[in-house]
Structures are given as C-alpha cells and as structure tokens.
A and B are shown apart, each in its own frame.
Chain A
C-alpha cells in the first residue's frame, strides 16, 4: 500500500475538466511540497508539477496543482485524448527521510 492515497481511476469527456486527489499526512504532504508525474503506458514518467503548483518549461497551463493541509490535487482542463495516462503524486516523507509516491490514478478520456 502506498503512503499517499490516490483514487485508482477517474474519467471525463474531451474538453471537460478533471481533478485528481492525493491524500497524505503531516509527515509527508503536510510539511513538504508535492510533485505530479504523468506516465503514458509503456513510457517513463514525466514531471508535470513541482513545488505544489509550478510547471516545468513546456508543460501547458491546462495542468495545475494545489495543496491544502495534508492533501493535494492535480487539475487538468480542456481534456484531450492524449491526456490518457497514469498520474502519480510524489513528495518527501520527512520522518522516513525517503521519497514517496501515490498509488497512481488512471485517467480515461471518454
């Protein structure tokens, strides 16, 4: 079982908006920044969001991140079929001194 909890799957229609949640504790999300990764099946993960809400160069502003207390969320607007992928949240677990990931959420664009 993962330290961070994500819903196994979410779905929405093209053009719509979807939110993926990530729940943790005071030892991880509660006192660290959160990052988000996109993994298209068969490929390596790609960084989408770091430090809760910052986007690396080249990531469109359709992707956004937020954090409140011990939970974080990834928002994707204007859904495209190319957004179908697995999405993972990640952070630093301060009491374990270790990186941790959520279990991943499969996004289906109907």
Chain B
C-alpha cells in the first residue's frame, strides 16, 4: 500500500522560498505523475503542478513560474519549492500520486493516493 507523507517548515517569512518534501513509501516513485495541491484556509483545492518520473513537469499558470517540482528517485521522494511567498500562499499543502492518461480520445487526470497534508503559514 503506497503512502505519501509531506514534510517541511510550518512557517515561512514573506518573500522567502517555501520548500516541502513528499516521501513515498510502500512503492516505487517510478511511473505516475507526482503532484502537489494546496488548500487555503476555508477554501477549495488548487492544483500546483506535477512531475513525471521521466522528469517532465507542468505547473499552474497562475503561479507565474514561482513553483518548481523536483524528483529524487534514489531516495523515493519529490519536492516543491515556491519562491517569493506572500500571505496568499498560506495553505495546507498536499502531495498526491496521479495518473495522466490518454484514453479513447480523452485525457484522464486523477489523484488516487494523497498525503495527509502539511500546514504552511506565511508570516513575518
């Protein structure tokens, strides 16, 4: 049974870089699209981006190139860096395993395994 666990600082200063790691246990990080999603307090889910085991990445355009996702296959984890953070980046951050498939003429993208989430507060 694959499990994901986020880790990283719970408090980040404005204008600094948020750094989180997601450790994958019970399975290999090979294959799949390893994704980050966040949820501001009292709000809905926001997709941040993914990295494929091949190294290809894709990000939410609204983050304006502040996000970087990387993969460490030797240690079975992947990471998120979000630069120049502001109060608006305060959220619970989730990592997730995702599938992105092309099937019968349609894209299919869904997240089947999620981490428990970690709260990040941006404050001076």
Contacts and interface: CB of A to CB of B under 8 A. Distances in A.
A101 B109 contact: no
Interface string A24-63: 0000000111010101000111110011000010000000
Interface in A4-25: none
Would you call the interface of chain B mostly helix, strand, loop, or mixed? strand
A44 B103 contact: no
A47 B109 contact: no
Given A45-B94, A99-B35, A101-B46, A31 B114 contact: no
Contact of B109 (A31, A46, A92, A102): A92
B115 interface: yes
Given A33-B103, A51-B103, A92 B108 contact: yes
A44 B109 contact: no
Contacts, number: 81
B106 A99 contact: no
Interface residues of A, number: 29
B108 A33 contact: yes
B28 to A, nearest CB: 20
Nearest 10 A/B pairs, CB to CB: A99-B47, A35-B110, A92-B109, A33-B108, A50-B110, A92-B107, A44-B114, A104-B44, A32-B107, A101-B45
Given A33-B107, A43-B116, 20 more contacts: A32-B109, A35-B108, A37-B111, A44-B114, A44-B115, A47-B110, A47-B114, A50-B112, A88-B45, A90-B45, A92-B108, A92-B109, A94-B107, A98-B49, A98-B61, A99-B35, A99-B109, A101-B44, A101-B45, A104-B45
